[in-house]
Chains A and B, each alone.
Chain A
Amino acid sequence: MSDNIVNVENLNVWYGKPQIFGRGKRVQVLHDVSFYLRRGEILGLVGESGCGKSTLARTILGIEKDKTGTITLNTYRPQMVFQNPYGSLNPYKKVGWIIEEPLRVLNKYDGKERKKRVCELLERVGLPESYLQRYPDELSGGQRQRVAIAAALIQQPELIFLDEPVSALDVTVQAQILRLLIDIKKQFNLSYLFISHDLNVIYQICDRVMVMKKGEIVEQGEIESVYYHPQHPYTQQLLTE
C-alpha cells in the first residue's frame, strides 16, 4: 500500500542479550505488533510508562536490532524528537551548530546556504536569530524543544517520531509546542507518530490512536471511535481515569 508511510507486521522485539558469561536474560518487550501509518496523518500511541511505546519507535528507527517481523518504511530517514529536552541537545554546542549538523554531515549546500536555512528554520519554530549563538543551558525547556524540532526538520523528513514531546513541559508551553507541531505538519506535509501517556494531548492532536499494554496493541482506530466507543477493557479503564 503506497499511501502508507509506515507498515509494520507482526513485530516482536527483545531486550537484553545473553552475554559471554551468561549474565542477563532476553526479555520480550513487544508482542506481535502490527499497524500502519498513512501519509499525512498523526497517529497517537498511548499506554502507561514502560509498556514499550518508545521501544516501538526506536525499533522502527533501527536502534533496536533484536527483532522479528517486517517493517516497511516508505520514506527516507525519519527523525525523532525526544521527551527530555534537557538531554537531547548537546550541552557543549551552540544552537546554530546543533541545527546545522545534519546538513554539514551530509555535505549538502555550501556554508552560506546552510546558515540561511538554519536561520529560516529557527525563525519558523519561533526563536529569534540571536539564539544561534546560545548554548542549550541558556534556554528554557520549551525553547529547547523548539530547537530539537528545528534540528529534526532541517533534513526535510516526511515522518517524525514524537516521543512524549510535551510531557516534560508545563501546560502553557505544552499548548504552544502542540500548536507549532500542527502548523509545521501542514506546512511541510509531515506525518507524525505521536507517543504520549496523556490522553488529552492525544485527543487534541491525533487522527487515529493505538492503545498499548505490556508490549501489545490492544486497540487501534479513529480517535473518535476509540474515545467514545472503547472496545477493550484496558482502554475503557484508561478513559475513565
Chain B
Amino acid sequence: MKKRNYNLIFGIIITTFVVILLTIGIFWTPYDPDMMNVKLRLTGPSPEHILGCDNFGRDIFSRVLKGGVSTLWISVFTVLFGLVCGVIVGAFTGYYGGVLDEVVMRLNDVLNSFPSILFSLVIVSLLGPGKKNVVIALGLLFIPSFARITRSEFSRIKNMDYVKCAKLEGVPPLRIMFVHILPNAVNTLLSTTAIGFNNAVLAEASLSFLGIGVQPPDPSLGRMLAESQTYLFSAPWYTLSAGGMIILLVLGFGLLSDGLGDIE
C-alpha cells in the first residue's frame, strides 16, 4: 500500500483555506480595518469581533485579513521580480558559460554573502520605506538563488542532443534559451518558487516588524506583531492572530512544495 502524501494533503487544505480567506479579504472585511473605537480597546474575542480588538479598538480579524492580503501581494511581486531577473541572468550565464559565467556568478556570491535583513535595510533606507521599495529590496535578494538554479539547469540541458539539433537547424540563441531549454527547467523552478514564496512572506513580515516595510495606518502582519508585543499578556489574542496568519501562510506553502516535491 502506497504511503499517503500527508504533506500534500495538508498543504492543499491549509493553502486553500488561506487563499479563500484572503480572497474574501481583498473585497470585503467585517469592519473597516482602520476604524478606531476606544470603547472596544483590547477587548477579547466575542461574537461581534471574533478575534477581538487591538489597542485602538480596531477589529483584529479585519486587520489580519487586510494585512495578509498586503503580505501576499508583496511576496508575489517579490518572487516574480526575483524569478524573472534570476531566470534571465541564469539563462545567459548557464548557456554561454565562460568568463561571463565566472564574473556574474562571483557577483552573485557577493550578493549572497550579505545577511539578507541587513541588505534589505540598506536598500530600503536608500529608497525610503513603502510597499514598492520593499518589493525591490527583497526581489534583489531573491535573484541569486533563482539565477543559480536556472544556471545549473541550463548548463545541464544545453548539452542535450536536442539542443545541439536545434543549433544545427539554425535556431537563434535567444530562441534556444527561452523556447527550447526553459520549458525543461520549469519543474525545478516551480519548486524553488514555492520555497522562495515562503521566504518572501517571512522576509516581508520581518521588515514590517522592524518598521521599514508597510507603513501605518496600512495593516501588516509583521507590524501587528511588533505592536502586540506590549500587550502580550493582557491581550494574547492580538499576537496569536497576527502570528497565526503568518504561520498558516508559510506552513501551507511549505507543505505544498514538500508534497509536490515528493510526487516526482
- Are the C-beta atoms of B184 and A84 separated by less than 8 Å? no
Residues of B within 8 A of A93 (CB): 180, 183
The yes or no answer to B48 lying at the interface (CB within 8 A) is no
Residues of A within 8 A of B102 (CB): 20
- Are the C-beta atoms of A101 and B171 separated by less than 8 Å? yes
- Are the C-beta atoms of A79 and B162 separated by less than 8 Å? no
How far is B163's CA from A80's CA once the two chains are assembled, in angstroms? Answer: 12
The yes or no answer to A63 lying at the interface (CB within 8 A) is yes
Q: Which A residues fall within an 8 A CB radius of B? A: 20, 61, 63, 77, 79-80, 82, 84, 87-93, 101-102, 105-106, 148, 151, 155
Binding site secondary structure of chain A: loop
Q: Which B residues fall within an 8 A CB radius of A? A: 99, 102, 160-162, 164-172, 175, 180, 183-184, 186
Shortest 5 CB-CB contacts between residues of A and residues of B: A88-B161, A92-B183, A102-B169, A87-B161, A90-B162
Residues of B within 8 A of A89 (CB): 162
**Which of B168, B172, B175, B184 makes the CB contact (< 8 A) with A91?**
B184
How far is B175's CA from A102's CA once the two chains are assembled, in angstroms? Answer: 12
- Are the C-beta atoms of A82 and B169 separated by less than 8 Å? no
- Are the C-beta atoms of A90 and B168 separated by less than 8 Å? no
- Are the C-beta atoms of B169 and A105 separated by less than 8 Å? yes
How far is B165's CA from A105's CA once the two chains are assembled, in angstroms? Answer: 13
- Are the C-beta atoms of B169 and A90 separated by less than 8 Å? no
Given contacts A91-B184, A92-B183, contact A106 B170 (CB under 8 A): yes
- Are the C-beta atoms of B170 and A82 separated by less than 8 Å? no
- Among residues of A, the one whose C-beta sits closest to the C-beta of B175 is A105
- Are the C-beta atoms of B160 and A61 separated by less than 8 Å? no
- In the complex, which of the residues A88, A91, A92, A148 has the most CB atoms of chain B within 10 Å of its own CB atom? A92
- Are the C-beta atoms of A101 and B169 separated by less than 8 Å? yes
Known: A91-B184, A102-B169. 11 other contacts (CB 8 A): A63-B164, A63-B167, A80-B168, A87-B161, A90-B180, A90-B184, A93-B183, A101-B169, A106-B170, A151-B165, A151-B169
How far is B101's CA from A20's CA once the two chains are assembled, in angstroms? Answer: 12
**Which of B160, B161, B164, B166 makes the CB contact (< 8 A) with A101?**
B166
Residues of A within 8 A of B167 (CB): 63
- Are the C-beta atoms of A79 and B168 separated by less than 8 Å? yes
Residues of A within 8 A of B161 (CB): 82, 84, 87-88
Chain A nearest CB, measured from B34 CB (Å): 48
- Are the C-beta atoms of A80 and B172 separated by less than 8 Å? no
How far is B165's CA from A79's CA once the two chains are assembled, in angstroms? Answer: 8
- Are the C-beta atoms of B169 and A155 separated by less than 8 Å? yes
- Are the C-beta atoms of A61 and B168 separated by less than 8 Å? yes
- Are the C-beta atoms of A105 and B184 separated by less than 8 Å? no
- Among residues of B, the one whose C-beta sits closest to the C-beta of A86 is B161
**Which of A82, A91, A105, A155 makes the CB contact (< 8 A) with B164?**
A82
- Are the C-beta atoms of B171 and A87 separated by less than 8 Å? no
Residues of B within 8 A of A91 (CB): 184
Chain A nearest CB, measured from B186 CB (Å): 8
Chain A nearest CB, measured from B63 CB (Å): 44
- In the complex, which of the residues B161, B172, B180, B183 has the most CB atoms of chain A within 10 Å of its own CB atom? B161
